[in-house]
Structure 1
Amino acid sequence: MRFPKLAFVFMFVGCLVVYLTYVKRHYDDSKAPVSDQLPQYRMDTRKQSTSVQVVSENFQYGIMFDAGSTGTRIHIFKFQIEPNEAPKLAHETFRAIKPGLSAYADDPEKSKEGLLELLNVAKDTVPETLWSSSPLMLRATAGLRLLPGEKATILLDKAREVFSESLFLYRPDSVSIMDGTDEGMSAWITINFLLGVLHVTETATVGMLDLGGGSTQITFALQDEKTIQTLPIDYVTSFQMFNMSHALYSYSYLGLGLMSARLAVLGGIEGQPLAGPQELVSPCLAPDYSGQWEHAEVLYTIKGQKAGEPIYETCLTKVEKMIYKHVRRIEGVKDMDFYAFSYYYDRAVDLGLIDERTGGNVRVSDYIEGAKKVCNNMAAGGIKETPFLCLDLTYISVLLQELDFPPDKELKLARQINNVETSWALGATFHCIESLHKHGMC
C-alpha cells in the first residue's frame, strides 16, 4: 500500500512543476509583445516628427510670364506653405528677353522661340517632381491690348501651344490678356505684400503708380465709404486676401503709357504707319535733330522744329493739349504714401536723381525742374544721345500733376524690395496660389 502513495506524491509534484512552468512561460509570452511595442512606438514618434518637418518645408512654385509691350519676362516664385498661414515668398528667379510678343504680330510662329527659351529657365529652376503642381501662366499687358483682336488672339494661341507641351500645371485660360485694372491691383498686392502690410490695416498700405510703355496705372486703398459711393464703378475693385476685404481705387489708362504718349505728342497714331516719306515734326525734339524711331513694329521718321521757339514751353503746351481731360483727378492722393515704378524709375535714373540699383525718393518738382533743364540744354545743342528725354520728362511731370500730385509730393522709387522685382507679376501669382489652395483653381 505504501508504493502507490509514493507514486501519487511524485505524480502530484510533477504536475505542479508542469503547471508552474506553463504559468511562467505564459507570463513571459504576455510580456514580450509589450516589450516589442515600445520601439515601434518610438519609431512612430520619429515618423511623426519627420512628417511635421516635411510639412514645414512644403514649397509651392508659381510661374508667371509677363508679356509686356517692350519685352517678355518670366518670374518663377517659390512660396513656403505653412498650415493656417499666408504663404511666404522664399525666392524669385527672373529673366527677360526682347522684344515683346506684340512685335511678332505679323509673324506669330516666331514668338515661340523666346517663350521656349524662358520656359527652359523654369525647368531648370523648379524640381521636376513639382512640375505637375506648379501653375504656369501668361498675362499680356498693353502691348497686346493695343493690337487688333485677331492678331492678339493668334499670338496667345501660339503661347498656349508652347505651354501645352510642358509638364507644368497648365490650362488654356492660364494664358490671357490682362485687364488694366487687374494689372494695377496685382501691382498693389505685390508692393504691400513685400512691405509686410497687406494683412494689417488699410491705413498701413501704400499706393502704387506704374508707367509702362502702353498704359499707366494708379491704385490705392479706399478708406472712406463716402468716397467709394461717389466713384464710378469702373474705378473701384474689391477682393479678399488673408481673410481681409480690400476696396481699391484702381484705374488703367490705355494709351497713356510713356511710348504711346510719346507717339501721340509727336503727332502719330497708334498702329498706323506714315504714308510715304512723311515725317513727324515736334517741338519736343532738338531743332537740328533728325532720325528714326520704331514703336509697335512701325518705323517713324522724326524731326525737331526749326530753332526759334523755347523748347520747354512749347513742348509743355503740346503735352498738356494731348493729355487734357484724359485723366481723372482724385482728391486726397497727396496725403498718401505712393511707390512709383517702371518709367518713373528709369527717367529718374537718367536724371541722376536716384541710384540705378537702390532707387530712392523724388519729388514731382524734381521731374518738372529736370524737364526744364534737359529741354533748355537740348536747345543749346546738348544731350543728342537721348533725343526723347525732354519729351518724356515733360510728359511725366504733367501726368503726375494731372493725377493731382502737387510739386512738393514725394514718391518712393524701387525696382526691388527684399531682392524681389516690384511688378504686378508677384501679386497675380500670389492671388493664383491662394485660389488654388482655396478653390482648386486660379
Structure 2
Amino acid sequence: MKRPKLPGVFLFVVCLLAYFMFVKHHNAAQNHEPFRLPSYHPARPGPIGDTGPASAAAEQSFQYGIMFDAGSTGTRIHVFKFQVGNQEAPKLAHETFKAIKPGLSAYADDPDKCASGIAELLEVGKSSIPHSVWNITPVVLKATAGLRLLPGEKAIHLLENVRTLFHESPFLSRHDSVSIMDGTDEGISAWITVNFLLGGLHSADSPTVGMLDLGGGSTQITFSPQDEVRMTDIDINRTRLLSLHHSLFSKNYHYLGLGLMSARLAVLAGGVTPELISPCLAPDYSGSWEYIDVIYTVKGQKAGEPAYDACRTKVQKVLYKKVMKASEVAGMDFYAFSYYYDRAVDLGIIKEHMGGTIKVADYIEAAKRVCNSPAISYLQSPFLCLDLVYISVLLQELGFPPHKQFKLARTINQVETSWALGATFHYIESLKRL
C-alpha cells in the first residue's frame, strides 16, 4: 500500500489558504467604508436601501432607526442608518428624510384621517431599509408643540391611532414607541444630535459642546458640567450614551414660556387687553400681531429715555429671577439654533444657508442700533428691536459675557441639527439595556 505524500498535500493546503487570504484582502480593499462622524469627517454613501452585493453577514454591521417628528405644521420621517462595530462608537452612514403636511393636530376632530399620511411615511421606511432587518428596526413617533396644546382626550386618540399603525407595521414597535415629547427631552436630544455629529460622544474624554435653542414658546440650554460639585444647586439630568456616562444640565423645562414669541407677549404686557403698547416698538408704529389664535393690536410708545434703554428695562423685568445664571458656561463652546440663528440672518451677520459665528456683544450692539434708529429702518420687522434686546439680555442672564462667541448652524456635515437624530440614537441605546 502506498503511503500518501504528506509533504505534497501539506504544501497544497498552504498554497490554497494563501490564495484565499489574498482574495479576501483584495475584496476588502475594494469596499469603501462609511466615513466616521466628525472629527472623522462623515460622508453619505448611496441610497440607504441599496445594499448591492453585500452578504447577509456584512449587512449585520448596520443598524437602522426610524423617527417620526410630529410637529405642529407637519409630520416628518427620518430613517437613519448606522454602522456599528465591536467596541466602537456607531457611525452615521446615511439619512433618508420626507415631510408631509398638515401636522397630526389638524386631525384632532377626526383622528382616523391621520392614518393615510402615517402609512405613506411608513412606506418610505420600507423602501429604505432591507427587508431582512425590518423586524429589529425600531419605529418611534414623538409629538411636540402641536399635540402638547391639544385637549388631553384628542391627543390620546391621535396617538392611539398611530400606535395601532405601528403595531401593524413590520417594524419593531413597543408601547413607548409613540408619545408626546416634553421640553427637557427635546433639549437633551438636540444636545445628543450636535455632539454625536461632532464626535463628542465617542469616548469619555471627548470634549462636548453646549447647546442653546430659542424656540417660540420655550428656550433650552443644555451642557455637560465640568465641575459637578459646583453645579449641585442646579438640575442635572444623567444620560447614558454610547456605553459612556455624560452628565447633562438641562433647564429647558423650567424655561417654558420664555421662548421668543411668548416673551414678546410678556414684554408687551399682553394677556389683559388685545391692544398692546410698548416702547420696544417704533413710536409711530401701529399694526396687528397674532399669537396662539389671538389677534392683538400693537402700537409703539414714545419713551422718556432712549428706546433701547426703555425696552431693556421692560425685558429685564420679564426675566427677573426666572433664569438661573451658570458662570461655568462662559468658558465652554456652545452652538446656538432657532431664533438665535434667524435674527443673526436678519442682521446680515451670517448667510441663511451658511451659518457662522456671533458674539453676545453683536446682539447687544445691533439692539442699540435698531432700537435707536429712525422707525423707517425696521418697519418691515417691527419686532426686531424687541427681539434683539430680549436675546441679548437673556444670554447675559444665562451667564454669557459680552465677549462670548457662539457657533450658529442649521446643519452639521449635511445633517439637520434637530432633536430627531439624538432621540433615535438614545432610543436604540435604551433598547440595548432591556
For the 8 Å contact 2:199–2:206, the answer to whether it is kept is no
- Measured in 2, the distance between the counterparts of 1:112 and 1:291 equals 40
Any idea what SS the aligned residue of 2:324 has?
A: coil
Does 2:383 correspond to 1:381? Answer: no
**Partners of 1:70 and 1:213 within 8 A in 2:** no
Rg comparison, structure with higher value = 1
CA contact 1:56–1:81 (8 Å) conserved in 2 = no
| Unaligned stretches of 5+ residues in structure 1 | 1-22
The correspondence of residues 303-382 of structure 1 with structure 2, limited to 5 A, is 303-307=298-302, 310-377=306-373, 379-382=374-377
Q: Deviations over 1:21-60 (max 9, x none)?
A: xx57xx89xxxx99x9999999999999999965454322
The amino acid across from 2:184 in the alignment is T
Structure 2 residue aligned with 1:60: 63
SS at match of 1:89: strand
- Whichever residue aligns with residue 258 of structure 1, its letter is L
> CA 1:302–1:172 in 2, change beyond 3 Å: closer, same or farther?
farther
Instruction: Name whichever of 391-400 and 162-171 sits farther off.
Output: 162-171
The equivalences for 1:43-442 within 5 A come to: 54-57=56-59, 58-69=61-72, 71-97=74-100, 100-102=103-105, 105=108, 108-109=111-112, 111-112=114-115, 114-201=117-204, 204-228=207-231, 230-232=232-234, 235-252=235-252, 253-269=255-271, 278-296=274-292, 298-307=293-302, 310-377=306-373, 379-436=374-431, 438-439=432-433
Higher relative helix content: 1
Alignment of 1:27-46 (within 5 A): none
Over aligned residue pairs, what C-alpha RMSD do you find? 3.8
Please tell me whether the aligned partners of residues 341 and 409 of structure 2 are also in contact (alpha carbons under 8 angstroms): yes
Which residue type is aligned with residue 345 of structure 2?
V
TM-score between both structures, scaled by the size of structure 1 = 0.78
Q: How many angstroms apart in 1 are the aligned matches of 2:283 and 2:294?
A: 21
Q: Number of paired residues?
A: 404
Structure 2 residue identity aligned to 1:251: K
Describe the superposition over 1:96-117 as per-residue Cα deviations: whole angstroms up to 9, x where unpaired: 4556545555565555565445
Shift of the 244–324 alpha-carbon distance from structure 1 to 2, 3 Å rule, reads: same
SS in 1 for 2:380: coil
Cα drift, residue 359 of structure 1 = 0.7
Which secondary structure state, in structure 1, belongs to the residue aligned with residue 327 of structure 2? coil
Q: Share of identical aligned residues, percent?
A: 61
Q: Quote the offset at 1:75 in angstroms.
A: 2.1
Do 2:147 and 2:180's aligned partners in 1 also have CA atoms closer than 8 Å?
yes
- Where does the alignment leave 5 or more consecutive residues of structure 2 unmatched? 29-52
Shift of 1:208: 1.1
- Contact 1:112/1:162 (8 A) holds in 2: yes
